[in-house]
Amino acid sequence: MSFDAIILGAGPAGSTAAIVLARRGFQVALVEKAEFPRRKVCGEFVSATSLAVIDRLGLGSTWRSLAGPEVRRVALFSGERVVTARMPAAHGAGFGRALGRDVLDDLLVQEASRAGATLFQPFRATGVRPSGDESAVTIASRDEEATLSAPVVIAAHGSWEPGGLPSQLQKTNAPSDLLGFKAHFSGARLEPDLMPLLVFPGGYGGMVWADRGRLSLSLCIRRDALAALRKEAGGGSASDAVHRHLLASCRGVRAAIGEAQLQGQWLAAGPIRPGMRARYRDDVFRIGNVAGESHPVIAEGISMAMQSAWHLAEELEAIDPARRAERDAAGRRYSRRWRAQFGARILAASAIAGLALRPAGARLMGGAIEALPALLTLGARLSGKTKTIAEMSNERVGVGRMRLS
Ligand SMILES: Cc1cc2nc3c(=O)[nH]c(=O)nc-3n(C[C@H](O)[C@H](O)[C@H](O)COP(=O)(O)OP(=O)(O)OC[C@H]3O[C@@H](n4cnc5c(N)ncnc54)[C@H](O)[C@@H]3O)c2cc1C
């Protein structure tokens, strides 16, 4: 089966790219291994800087009608410490909100299908190889295999699972690995406009109200810290150990979920792989977490996924995708735009996470924020909470504002 573009993975990155390219007349194949709706390890907060993209995808009013309340304040909950500060507003876009990934990812994939993308779901992409001037992608479901071909291949499969694709990362197993956990709670108590950063021994996390009265709690914890907690408890599940540890070590978490009910199961994923990676290599474009990932401490991954897809789609619209030289040039331009848009926040996230994960750093950070709560606002600004795509395009890259309407 022949297409203009094959997209591997239908998370926020893959589905955004599929919607934009399909609307621009590309014949798009979107390959997703999981059945939707499905929950996912994620804090589910979407920065205001992505609202322009969500609006232009045609999902703005649905998103606004479903998402949790506007997050107008940030906080630090660490030990006995509870400090709040204002969230900086993004120019003209207001404030971010959270929507469950079971809902958001399903909305996006359905829109991709409405836009004309051909959906292969549940199908896993198992291989990518050059085939003449194009690439051939092998995909497999439980009882079917197929080969798709296209000049443009976009890897959007996230970064937490190993596999045989050239863009997949290998699994690591080190004591310092960060493992991700996530749970929803009902009946929680947290001020509606507040998104606290949680800092606790061995990790960090966050809480925010999402859709349907669900509180979304997500965190990262070092592998060795988790092992020690489980040993101390004499066994039991990792999620029980994490849950107990949070309640024992953080007053703000106790106040918020001490009496709340867990909805469904805790989810776990990882190790997570923060850092910058190739954005284009061997004729495969990479978006979302595949291209690079910030520490979840800044809650920017969904925005980076959608915005990187947007940047790439703008570059692909402007070329003849059948010509390899034009794809290479688009790959270089996209790569520069990606770095200009996201590089600083990846570094800022790494610095914040580095402090949060070390006992002395966490003490230093807590003391400084208590003395000067505006540091929380500054941290949100440094982590990209006010940096929209349009602003970026005009500021440094010299290209026009977003073109789709
Ligand atoms: C603890 C934690 C909290 C976080 N909190 C936030 C937050 O509050 N806000 C925020 O913006 N970000 C947050 N993030 C980051 C965010 O979850 C990711 O950055 C985001 O999901 C990346 O989107 P993506 O589309 O690149 O990849 P993904 O969302 O991982 O989507 C990839 C898709 O590809 C599919 N796939 C994988 N392999 C294949 C294959 N071989 N074939 C076909 N399909 C495949 C998967 O099933 C999946 O649907 C958090 C992360 C963690 C770990």
Over 80: is that where the pLDDT of 392 sits? Answer: no
* CA gap 303, 338 in Å, rounded: 12
* Alpha-carbon span 92 to 261, nearest angstrom: 37
CA of 132 to the centre of ligand 1 (A): 32
Ligand 1 pocket test, pick from 35, 74, 106, 157 with the greatest ligand atom count within 8 Å of Cβ, gives 157
Residue 390: pLDDT band (50, 70, 90) is: low
346-369 confidence digits (pLDDT tens): 999 999 999 999 999 999 999 999
Q: Could you tell me if residue 234 is inside a domain?
A: no
102 CB within 6 A, ligand 1: no
Can you read off the two tokens belonging to residue 381? 């600004």
State the pLDDT confidence band at 225, using cuts at 50, 70 and 90.
very high
Note the pLDDT tens digit of each residue in 174-204.
999 999 999 999 999 999 999 999 999 999 9
CA–centroid distance, 78 to ligand 1, in Å, is 26
For the chain, what percent of residues have pLDDT higher than 90? 90
Strand partners, 188: none
Which atom of ligand 1 is nearest to 12's Cα? 25
Cβ 271 under 6 angstroms from ligand 1: no
3 state DSSP class of 75? strand
User: If you measure from the C-alpha of residue 96 to the centroid of ligand 1, how many angstroms do you get, rounded to a whole number?
Assistant: 18
Residues in contact with 318: Cβ distance below 8 Å, sequence separation at least 6, in sequence order: 330
The yes-or-no verdict on residue 396 having pLDDT over 60 is no
Is residue 60 situated within a structural domain? yes
Residue nearest to ligand 1 atom 18, measured at CA: 301
* Residue closest by Cα to atom 3 of ligand 1: 42
Q: How far is the CA of 149 from the centre of ligand 1 (A)?
A: 25
Q: Give the chain's mean pLDDT.
A: 94
Q: Dihedrals φ, ψ of 58, to 5°?
A: 90, 15
Return the CATH number at 151.
Answer: 3.50.50.60
Single-letter residue type at 358: R
Asked if the model's pLDDT at residue 287 lies above 80, the reply is yes
Tell me, yes or no, whether 188 lies in a domain.
no
For ligand 1, is residue 180 a contact (CB within 6 Å)? yes
19 within a domain of the structure (yes/no)? yes
Q: Within a domain: residue 179? A: no
- Res. 403 pLDDT band, cuts 50 70 90: very low
Separation CA 255–CA 250 (nearest Å): 9
- Tell me what pLDDT residue 104 has: 98
- The phi and psi torsions of 107 (rounded to 5 degrees) equal -60, -45
- Evaluate whether residue 185 is within a structural domain: no
Assess whether the C-beta atom of 12 lies below 6 angstroms from ligand 1.
yes
Alpha helices in 164-237 (DSSP H): 223-232
Residue 162 is predicted with a pLDDT of 87
Tokens matching residue 170? 């290998």
What stretch of H or E contains 157? none
CB 238 within 8 A of CB 226: yes
Task: Answer whether residue 251 shows pLDDT above 60.
Answer: yes
Distance between first and last Cα of the chain: 30
pLDDT digits (tens, 9 = 90+) for 136-185: 999 999 999 999 999 999 999 999 988 889 999 988 799 999 999 999 99
Strand order in the sheet with 152-155: 118-120, 28-31, 5-8, 152-155, 284-286, 280-281
Whether 405 maps to a domain, the answer reads no
pLDDT tens figures, 318-328: 999 999 999 99
> Distance between CA atoms of 153 and 11, rounded to whole angstroms?
16
The count of domains in the chain is 1
Residue 209 located in a structural domain: no
Q: What is the pLDDT of residues 92-150, one digit of tens each?
A: 788 999 999 999 999 999 999 999 999 999 999 999 999 999 999 999 999 999 999 99
Provide the domain limits for residue 309.
Answer: 5-170+273-397
Provide the pLDDT for residue 1. Answer: 94
**292-316 residue pLDDT tens:** 999 999 999 999 999 999 999 999 9
Cβ–Cβ contacts within 10 Å for residue 87, how many? Answer: 25
Q: CA-CA-CA-CA torsion for 245, 250, 251, 253, nearest 10 degrees?
A: -80
Integer CA distances (angstroms), 48 to 209, 216, 386, in order: 15, 18, 8
Q: How many angstroms is it from 275 CA to the middle of ligand 1?
A: 15
Question: Does residue 269 sit in helix, strand or coil?
Answer: strand
Confidence band for 402, pLDDT divided at 50, 70 and 90:
very low
28-32, 66-70, 90-94, 400-404: which has the minimum mean pLDDT? 400-404
